[in-house]
Amino acid sequence: MSSRKFCVGGNWKMNGDQKSIAEICKVLSDAPLDANTEVVIGCPAIYLMFARNLLPCSIGVAGQNSYKVAKGAFTGEISPAMLKDIGADWVILGHSERRAIFNESDELIAEKAEHALSEGLKVIACIGESLEEREAGKTNDVVARQMCAYAKKIKDWTNVVVAYEPVWAIGTGKTATPDQAQEVHAYLRQWLAENISKEVSSSLRIQYGGSVTAANARDLAKKPDIDGFLVGGASLKPEFVDIINARK
C-alpha cells in the first residue's frame, strides 16, 4: 500500500435539509470509521455550519464551490475566507456539474483553486471526461488539459487532492471498472511526474468518483493509484460508512 493517506469525500450536492443532515451526521458520528482514512463532507453552503457542529472534529467539511476573490460585488457567490470563517477546511472545485451546467472554464476553476489555497483552504480539484470524449479515445487528452490549467496556477500541491470523475459515470449507475479507473489514475501519475515533479506524482492523492457504492468500493480501493473516493448519492446513505471503510 502506498504511504498516501486514503481520503474519502462525500459530495451531498444540492440535497438535504436540517432533519436529514442531522440523521446522516449521527450515523457518521456513531460509526466505527477507519482511522487511517481521511473523511471530508461537501455540504450545501447554508448547512455547512450546522453540519460542522454535528460532526466529529476528525471529519472535515467542504464547500462545494467558492469564488476566486475574497470579497466584493459578486451576488450569490461565497469566498474561501467565508468558508474558513464558519469552520470549513476544504472546498470542492471544478466538479463536472459546475463545468457543464454553469459553464465554468478550466481557467476560472484554476483561478478559484489558486485563491482558495492562498486563503488556507484545502482543495478537491475535479477533472474528468464525457462519454463522447471517452468513446473518441480522448480521455487522456481531456484530463491532461484540465490538469494543465490547474498546474499553471497551483505551485504547491500539498493541500490538493485530485478527484478523477468520468462524467459518464456520475449518477448514471455506470461505474468505470477498477481497471479503467486505475488506467487513468496511472496516466495522471505519469503526467504529474513529467509535468510537475516525481515528488508530487508520488505524494498527490487521486480520488476516483463516479457511482461509487459500498458494492464496488473495495475492488476500486485495491488499485495502487486510487487513493480514495469522491462519492455523490451514496454519501447521503448509511452505506457511506462502508465506502469510508473500504480498506479496513
DSSP 1-47: --SSPEEEEEE--S---HHHHHHHHHHHHHS---TTEEEEEE--GGG
Q: Is the pTM of this model over 0.85?
A: yes
Q: Look at residue 1 in the predicted model and tell me its pLDDT.
A: 53
- pLDDT tens by residue, 159-169: 999 999 999 88
Q: What value does the mean pLDDT of the chain take?
A: 96
* Domain assignment of residue 43, yes or no: yes
Residue with cell 477507519: 34
* Domain assignment of residue 216, yes or no: yes
Instruction: Give the domain range for residue 36.
Output: 6-245
* 27, three cell numbers: 450515523
**CA nearest 93: which of 155, 159, 47?**
159
Q: Look at residue 227 in the predicted model and tell me its pLDDT.
A: 98
* 242, three cell numbers: 462502508
* Domain assignment of residue 97, yes or no: yes
- pLDDT tens by residue, 191-241: 999 999 999 999 999 999 988 999 999 999 999 999 999 999 999 999 999
Distance CA 54, CA 65 (A): 21
* 198, three cell numbers: 516525481
Cα–Cα distance list, 151 to 119, 146, 219 (Å): 18, 9, 30
* Domain assignment of residue 1, yes or no: no
Mean pLDDT of 121-126: 98
Decide: 62 and 9 in contact? Cβ < 8 Å. yes
* Active-site annotation, residues: 95, 165
Mean pLDDT of 175-191: 94
Amino acid at residue number 85? D
- pLDDT tens by residue, 59-110: 999 999 999 999 999 999 999 999 999 999 999 999 999 999 999 999 999 9
The fraction of the chain above a pLDDT of 90, given in percent, is 94
Supply the DSSP symbol for 167.
G
* 164, three cell numbers: 478523477
* Domain assignment of residue 53, yes or no: yes
* CATH number of the domain enclosing 162: 3.20.20.70
Mean pLDDT of 136-142: 96
**CA nearest 105: which of 146, 47, 162, 74?**
146
CA angle 93/48/100 to nearest 5° reads: 30
The fraction of the chain above a pLDDT of 70, given in percent, is 99
Distance CA 142, CA 133 (A): 8
Domain count, the chain: 1
